[in-house]
Structure 1
Amino acid sequence: MVSRKYILLLWSVLFLFFIVYLSGCTLLQNRQAERAPVELSEFEADPAVWGRLYPDHYDSYLQNYMISRTEYGGSDMYSKLEREPLLRIIFNGFGFSKEYNEDRGHIYSLEDIKLIDPARKSVGTCITCKTSDFKRIYHDHGENYYTMAITDLLDQSQHPVSCLDCHHPETNELVITRPALIEAFERQGRDITKATRNEMRSLVCAQCHVEYYFEPETKKLVFPWDQGVKADEIYAYFEEIGFSDWVHPDSQTPVLKAQHPDWELNQGSVHQQNGVSCSDCHMPYVRVGAMKISSHWWTSPLHNLQESCGTCHRQSEDYLKERILYTQRRVYDQMMKAQQSVTGAIQSIAQAMDQANVDESKLNEARALHREAQWYVDFISSENSMGFHNPQEALRILADSQRLAGEARVKALESLTGQSLPELLEPENPGFYTTQEDRNPPQ
């Protein structure tokens, strides 16, 4: 006969399971209540409203408020001028020589732009990637917003980067909301509406994480991809249209300022060539109970190595982290050497300018070399992965920067001596790419 204590134990266990079951049902009902039908208007920019339909995604979005730091980036605001002091010389005469801070991330986009020196954010174009209210702003003002005062547009902006920037409010499908990306594709003869879903998982990021410039007269936002998206192809585009951001006061060189060419550097990388999207690494799939969602905590893969990298790479997290840092440290070392080379070129040209009877034609050749060398090192410095998006290409670009800066110093010396010195010898192995085909691998 079963003793009373075992019967009581059995009933206790059953009662406990019943309580857990009721709790689970209550949680499920609460979660379903959060998903109660909500009509999203065409211009609904408030992520909290979207969160009533997609509470799990919204919960992960709120993680963007966390301040995190990696060895070469993160969402912790710091001065790049303190970390890379030679940038004060490289950007002399431009606003970035006075203030150049690492952004805190998408969710702080509106707050951070208000902290920037007003002299560096005067035109309305600057609002393009700072608020999910952009869709309504563009609907109301069209291209006139480019020349509006940024202060007026900030008054019309309530929400930072969020759901409406990448998703259709009715279908939740990925969409492109920034005209500059659509126009850049059109100029290349490409129809962005034909992009696959996997391509869209990167293209929604390419709306903002790219190189761009403002047309001098109209302040229109343009992606300079007409000749291609590699650093040298973008440089060739700027050369063709004769564009420069400012004239360097020390060397009198018309120079360029790179923005954040993350998408461009990633093109042709081993990950991109194998179909890995931006979202796979920066918005990996995660488990929420029995559901699998794409995390909307936009962060470095270093913060979630298992989800971001572990789906393909079976090594330990410690190994993966060390390989990432190994790559970034080597790119950083070469970047600092390139900055030293460019700074030396600026100083050599400035010293030559102070001398009498200088050969202006040679000096202009030195300036042209300085302009290109500075563009290349800035391309990598401004990019957000410290080269990891495409390490081979990053090192090639930095090698070109160092070589061109050295040639600029030679030309500056020639402008003083009146004699031509031997051209810098090409190294036996001139870089990671030796042919045009190597530099443009098949798609």
Structure 2
Amino acid sequence: MKKYKILLVISIIAIGLMSALIASINEKKVEQAQLKEVPKIDRWETKNEEFKKHYPRQFDSWKETKHSDEIEDMLKKHPELVVLWAGYGFAKDYNAPRGHFYAIEDNRNTLRTGAPVDEKTGPMPTACWTCKSPDVPRIMDKEGDMEYFTGKWSKYGSDIINPIGCVDCHNPKTMELQVNREYLNTGLKAAGKKPLEDATQQDMRSMVCAQCHVEYYFKKTPLADGKKAAVVTLPWGEGTSVESMEKYYDNLEFKDWTHKISKAPMLKAQHPGWEMWETGAHGRNNVSCADCHMPYTQEGGIKYTDHNIGNPLENMDKSCMNCHRTSEKSLLDNINKKRERKDNLHQKAMTAIANAHLEAGKAWEIGATKEEMAPILKDIRHAQWRWDYAVASHPAFFHAPEETLKILGTSIEKAGNARIKLAKVLAKYGASDYVAPEIKDKKQAQEIIGLPFEKLVEDKKKFQKGLMQEWKKEAEKKGLYNPESTKNLEDKTSYN
């Protein structure tokens, strides 16, 4: 009798476990079915919180980019940058990029965007918002690309309010990957590359990133109504290599600014991550940006893309180790060696270019002519363009280590050529003993270029307490902004 009781208890437990398992399986099937259904979301819903209702895992992982919140003042770390960018906004303020969550905050807080007092003031054009928010393609769709590209940065202060998120890469009605900025497709066609209409799903896992992580410039474009637009344009008409883009810019005689000290017509590289990626092993084998930066994650029976876009080396078991048949330690050792080589050439290039700018400034001071200086300034322009290109594509040493070292090597070569020519000019005018001052810190460097740093900070703080707060209130009234999304968010800067 006791034997039958034990069997009965075991049977009841087994039935219970089976029931729980079946319930769990059914629950997962229901959840998977729900995930496959595309909910109805407005085409231009730009509040990322609205997507949490339907895609909680993706949203929660995206919000993890909030933890990449530390400010790393690159001008403090490398004060030579102040001299390299003399006369340009980056000499005022430049921090290492933070997580996507902070795209709006960092754009509003940087000294580069100035301290506008209304929608018609400030140093920067509207184009400076282009890669910072899903509100940008919403405005482009509503007003047209050309109207968006007119006016000052402050024109859309209360309209561009949500940081990089869902609508930047997805069509909410289908959740298909979609590029929402037309200039990328225009650039691809100009370069003779596969247009977006022919892109595969795997291609799109990189192209949605390429709409922002590329080199670009603001093309001044007169419009029929008399307005002028500063249009984001990709300089790919001659190709997508550093040399091809250099040729493109030289043919146009384009310059981002005239250097305050050397008077060289300068180029500012933006963030040519995609162009560098396509030259490396991952790009050549079509390992997409998302494969490494947004690896698939398994949670129970649900597989989804991790939207905590960041450093793949912090998540190697889900990113690198899916393909590489070696230990994490071995892989990291190899990567760190590549970084060390890049850092070494990076520092040498910065020092050489900074000295060339200062020596050119001295040459002008003592009477050098435009004819004498022209070839020197061209060397400086090309040296700095190549250095900037290699480092502005922040992970270039990883994406394309050989290309990065090659570019930095040619940068150092061209800076050296400029300095050899400058030595002859300085000697001609009796200043052969001139030695450029050593750049010791950010404050000293900003004094050398005559930058009124304290005044810039003072004006910025007035803007932050005044007009910026008005923008937030107006955006909330328009239904574009949920203040809870940035509640208790600490505004970090390099100057507070």
Moved more, 165-174 or 13-22: 13-22
Q: Counterpart of 1:427?
A: none
C-alpha separation between the residues in 2 aligned to 1:369 and 1:291? 55
Superposed displacement of residue 402, structure 1: 0.4
- The 3 A distance-change label for structure 1 pair 266 and 33 is closer
C-alpha separation between the residues in 2 aligned to 1:194 and 1:341? 44
Q: Counterpart of 1:428?
A: none
Moved more, 320-329 or 26-35: 26-35
Unaligned runs of 5+ in 2: 115-121, 222-228, 430-496
Q: Moved runs in structure 1, 4+ residues, more than 6 A? A: 3-7, 23-37
| AA of the residue aligned to 1:154 | G
Does residue 85 of structure 1 match 2:79? yes
Superposed displacement of residue 5, structure 1: 7.4
Superposed displacement of residue 305, structure 1: 0.7
Report if the CA contact (8 A) 1:34-1:55 is conserved: no
| AA of the residue aligned to 2:412 | Q
Residue of 73, 89, 94 corresponding to 2:88: 94
Give the secondary structure class of the aligned counterpart of 1:214. Answer: strand
Residue of 312, 315, 336 corresponding to 2:323: 312
Superposed displacement of residue 404, structure 1: 0.4
**Pairs aligned (count):** 411
C-alpha separation between the residues in 2 aligned to 1:270 and 1:121? 40
- The 3 A distance-change label for structure 1 pair 391 and 36 is closer
- The 3 A distance-change label for structure 1 pair 386 and 36 is closer
C-alpha separation between the residues in 2 aligned to 1:241 and 1:273? 30
Superposed displacement of residue 14, structure 1: 5.9
Sequence identity percentage: 31
Moved more, 149-158 or 209-218: 149-158
Give the secondary structure class of the aligned counterpart of 1:276. Answer: coil
Q: Counterpart of 2:186?
A: 183
Moved more, 164-173 or 308-317: 164-173
Does residue 214 of structure 1 match 2:218? yes
Residue of 133, 149, 155 corresponding to 1:146: 149
Q: Counterpart of 1:349?
A: 360
C-alpha separation between the residues in 2 aligned to 1:38 and 1:362? 66
Superposed displacement of residue 227, structure 1: 0.7
Q: Counterpart of 2:128?
A: 126
Q: Counterpart of 2:261?
A: 250
Superposed displacement of residue 56, structure 1: 2.7
Report if the CA contact (8 A) 2:47-2:162 is conserved: yes
Residue of 202, 224, 248 corresponding to 1:198: 202
C-alpha separation between the residues in 2 aligned to 1:290 and 1:76? 35
Residue of 285, 296, 301 corresponding to 1:274: 285
**Residue-by-residue CA offset, 1:54-107 (whole Å, 9 max, x unaligned):** 33322322222222xxxxxxx532111112111011111211111011222212
| AA of the residue aligned to 1:187 | A
Give the secondary structure class of the aligned counterpart of 1:221. Answer: strand
Report if the CA contact (8 A) 1:35-1:52 is conserved: no
Does residue 391 of structure 1 match 2:407? no
Superposed displacement of residue 231, structure 1: 1.2
Residue of 157, 160, 179 corresponding to 1:157: 160
- The 3 A distance-change label for structure 1 pair 108 and 210 is same
Q: Counterpart of 1:62?
A: 63
Superposed displacement of residue 205, structure 1: 0.6
Moved more, 3-12 or 210-219: 3-12
- The 3 A distance-change label for structure 1 pair 27 and 59 is farther
Superposed displacement of residue 206, structure 1: 0.6
Over the residues paired in the alignment, what is the CA RMSD in angstroms?
Answer: 2.6
Unaligned runs of 5+ in 1: 68-74, 420-443
- The 3 A distance-change label for structure 1 pair 182 and 341 is same
Report if the CA contact (8 A) 2:184-2:211 is conserved: yes
- Give matches, 1:222-371, under 5 Å: 222-356=233-367, 358=368, 360-371=370-381
**Residue-by-residue CA offset, 1:6-27 (whole Å, 9 max, x unaligned):** 8667756765775677677668
- The 3 A distance-change label for structure 1 pair 59 and 359 is closer
- The 3 A distance-change label for structure 1 pair 189 and 326 is closer
Report if the CA contact (8 A) 1:34-1:52 is conserved: no
Q: Counterpart of 1:429?
A: none
Q: Counterpart of 1:103?
A: 97
| AA of the residue aligned to 2:422 | A
Q: Counterpart of 2:433?
A: none
Superposed displacement of residue 161, structure 1: 1.3
Superposed displacement of residue 368, structure 1: 0.9
| AA of the residue aligned to 2:218 | F
Report if the CA contact (8 A) 1:284-1:307 is conserved: yes
- TM-score norm. by structure 1 comes to 0.85
C-alpha separation between the residues in 1 aligned to 2:305 and 2:82? 40
Superposed displacement of residue 240, structure 1: 0.7
Report if the CA contact (8 A) 1:47-1:162 is conserved: yes
Superposed displacement of residue 232, structure 1: 1.5
C-alpha separation between the residues in 1 aligned to 2:361 and 2:66? 45
Report if the CA contact (8 A) 2:379-2:414 is conserved: yes
